[in-house]
Amino acid sequence: MSQRGLEALLRPKSIAVLGASEKPWRAGFLMMQNLLGGHFTGPILPVTPKYRAVCGVLAYPDVASLPITPDLAVLCTHASRNLLLLKALGQRGCKTAIILSSPPAQAEALKACASRYAMRLLGPNSLGILAPWQGFNASFSPVPIVKDCKGMGLGKRLLSKLIDYTRCHGLKQLNGITMPHNQGMVALAKKLGFTVNVQLDEGIVTLVLPLNTQNVA
């Protein structure tokens, strides 16, 4: 992964939510609520042709209409649209995307599309990414943002258990990543110096840096 792609994933300056919705039971609504509730300081860009605004934020009908190229895009739409949207994001120059839902049969096509545009994918079937110290919650985690806890959560378990642990033990800084078991991401994590703990029974990987490490990347 390029440094630009890594920065876009871990420290995005702008986020597009594809499939943003005003319906409370939709993934696109929950994602918008968490991003806004986490007080992310960069632009949040809802993308949907159905609404002029989502959660009070001006919406755009498609990727081509966005006023800027987002660092990170979250796909909250039906899985059948994943490939088309990923291609549109790649053509726009977006370097990182989170795919919330996708059937196994799509995996190779999505990987090929991402490779063509030098994009990094988180997912498919990811619950998002959580970075409390940035006020950044692009996930479905019910855990409130806690800015004195340093950590990054990716995938099924996110950072919920780690945050609870830090609260109980009074820790002020913790660097860690949890994510779905993915060989490509595991290889990248090892290159970055993380200790890798594979939990095959839960289908996740936990990555940990020493507590005196100041950055997650």
- Per residue in 49-84, pLDDT (tens digit) is 999 999 999 999 999 999 999 999 999 999 999 999
Among all chains, which residue has been given the structure tokens 């007080």? Answer: 39
Across 175-191, average pLDDT? 53
| 138 bridge partner residues | 129
CB 122 within 8 A of CB 154: yes
Neighbours of 56 (CB within 10 A): 8
In order of start, what are the domains of the chain with their CATH numbers? 3-122 (3.40.50.720), 128-208 (no CATH)
pTM of full prediction above 0.95: no
Higher pLDDT, 118 or 89: 89
Higher pLDDT, 2 or 175: 2
CB-based burial, 82-95: b 16+ in 10 Å, e otherwise = beebbbbbbebebb
d(CA 157, CA 170): 21
